[in-house]
C-alpha cells in the first residue's frame, strides 16, 4: 500500500506529463499552420519561385485564356516574350509589363504580382543577360542597343549619372594609396598622441601593466577640461603594438601636426578641422 506522500508525487508527475503533452500538441499545431502558410506562399509564386530561371518550367498562370506562345513558360521567359513583342527601342516599365502579361492571360497568383515581375526581370538579366535595365524603372531587350549603349546602362547606378561603381571603387583605392604614399593620414582621425604612445609602450612592454591601468595613467596626465583624452578601447586595440614596441605611425604625426596648425588658425578653440586626409 502506497503512502500518501507517494500518491502525491505520482499525481504531480502525471499532472506535469499532461501539461507537457498539451504544450507539445499546441506547438505541433502551430508548426503545422506555419508550414502550410509557407507552402501556400511558395505556391503563389508558381514554378518560378521553386525552379529559378529554368525556362522549361511552367509558370503559375491562369488556367485558361493564355495567349499562344505563352503556354508553359516560366516568368523569366514570359517577361522576355512580352518585351520581344514591343517595337524596337521602346522599353517598358514593370507596370506596363504586368499589364501586358495580364492581357496575354499570364497572371501571377502571388500576393505581390509586381514583385514577381521585378524578380523575373532581374534574374533573367543576371542569368541570361538578354534583358537590360535601361534606367528610370524601364527594361528592354539587350539586342535593341549597341554594345556601348548597353555598357552605359550596365554602368549606371539606378539610372543616374552612369557612374561605374567598380571603376569608382578602384579610383578610391588608388587615391587612398597615393595619399598614404605622401605620408598623409587617411581615414578616421587618430586619438593616441605620440606622448601617449610612448607612455603606453613603456608601461605595457617594460612594466607589464594592464591596459586599464595604462588608461588610468593616461587620463591623469593628459586630461583636459574634465574630458577623457582617449577611450579605453582605443588603447586595447593597440596592445600588440605596445608589446612589440612598434614605432609611432608617421601618418599620425602628420595628422596631429596639421591639426594643431589648423586649430591655431581658427578663430576659436572649439573649432575642429574636418579633414579625412591631411598632409
Q: What does the pLDDT read at residue 278?
A: 45
Number of domains in the chain: 3
112 in Cβ contact with 130 (< 8 Å): no
55 in Cβ contact with 73 (< 8 Å): yes
Q: Are residues 59 and 119 in the same domain?
A: yes
Q: What does the pLDDT read at residue 38?
A: 67
**CATH value at residue 81:** 1.10.10
199 in Cβ contact with 221 (< 8 Å): yes
Task: Give the structural domain span for 106.
Answer: 51-163
Q: Are residues 176 and 256 in the same domain?
A: yes
Q: What does the pLDDT read at residue 199?
A: 92
Q: What does the pLDDT read at residue 63?
A: 41
Residues of the chain with pLDDT under 50: 44-63, 157-162, 266-279
Q: Write a three-state SS string for 13-39.
A: HHHHHHHHHHHHHHHHHHHHHHHHHHH
Q: Are residues 140 and 242 in the same domain?
A: no
Q: Are residues 131 and 196 in the same domain?
A: no
pTM, 2 dp: 0.38
Q: Are residues 215 and 243 in the same domain?
A: yes
Amino acid at each position: 500500500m502506497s503512502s500518501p506522500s507517494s500518491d502525491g508525487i505520482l499525481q504531480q508527475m502525471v499532472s506535469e506529463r499532461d501539461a507537457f503533452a498539451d504544450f507539445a500538441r499546441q506547438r505541433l499545431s502551430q508548426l503545422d499552420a506555419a508550414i502550410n502558410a509557407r507552402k501556400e506562399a511558395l505556391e503563389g509564386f508558381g514554378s518560378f519561385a521553386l525552379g529559378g530561371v529554368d525556362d522549361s518550367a511552367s509558370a503559375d498562370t491562369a488556367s485558361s485564356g493564355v495567349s499562344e506562345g505563352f503556354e508553359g513558360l516560366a516568368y523569366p521567359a514570359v517577361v522576355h516574350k512580352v518585351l520581344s513583342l514591343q517595337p524596337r527601342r521602346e522599353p517598358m516599365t514593370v507596370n506596363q509589363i504586368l499589364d501586358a502579361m495580364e492581357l496575354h492571360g499570364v497572371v501571377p497568383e502571388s500576393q505581390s504580382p509586381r514583385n514577381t515581375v521585378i524578380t523575373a526581370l532581374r534574374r533573367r538579366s543576371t542569368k541570361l543577360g538578354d534583358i537590360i535595365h535601361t534606367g528610370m524603372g524601364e527594361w528592354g531587350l539587350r539586342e535593341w542597343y549597341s554594345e556601348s549603349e548597353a555598357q552605359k546602362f550596365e554602368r549606371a547606378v539606378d539610372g543616374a549619372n552612369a557612374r561605374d561603381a567598380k571603376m569608382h571603387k578602384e579610383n578610391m583605392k588608388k587615391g587612398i594609396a597615393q595619399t598614404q604614399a605622401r605620408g598623409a593620414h587617411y581615414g578616421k582621425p587618430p586619438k593616441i598622441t605620440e606622448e601617449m604612445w610612448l607612455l603606453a609602450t613603456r608601461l605595457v612592454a617594460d612594466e607589464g601593466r594592464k591596459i586599464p591601468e595604462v588608461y588610468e595613467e593616461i587620463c591623469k596626465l593628459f586630461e583636459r577640461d574634465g574630458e577623457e583624452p582617449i577611450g579605453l578601447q582605443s588603447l586595447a586595440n593597440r596592445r600588440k603594438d605596445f608589446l612589440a614596441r612598434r614605432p609611432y605611425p608617421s601618418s599620425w604625426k602628420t595628422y596631429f601636426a596639421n591639426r594643431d596648425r589648423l586649430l591655431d588658425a581658427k578663430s576659436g578653440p572649439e573649432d575642429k578641422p574636418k579633414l579625412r586626409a591631411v598632409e
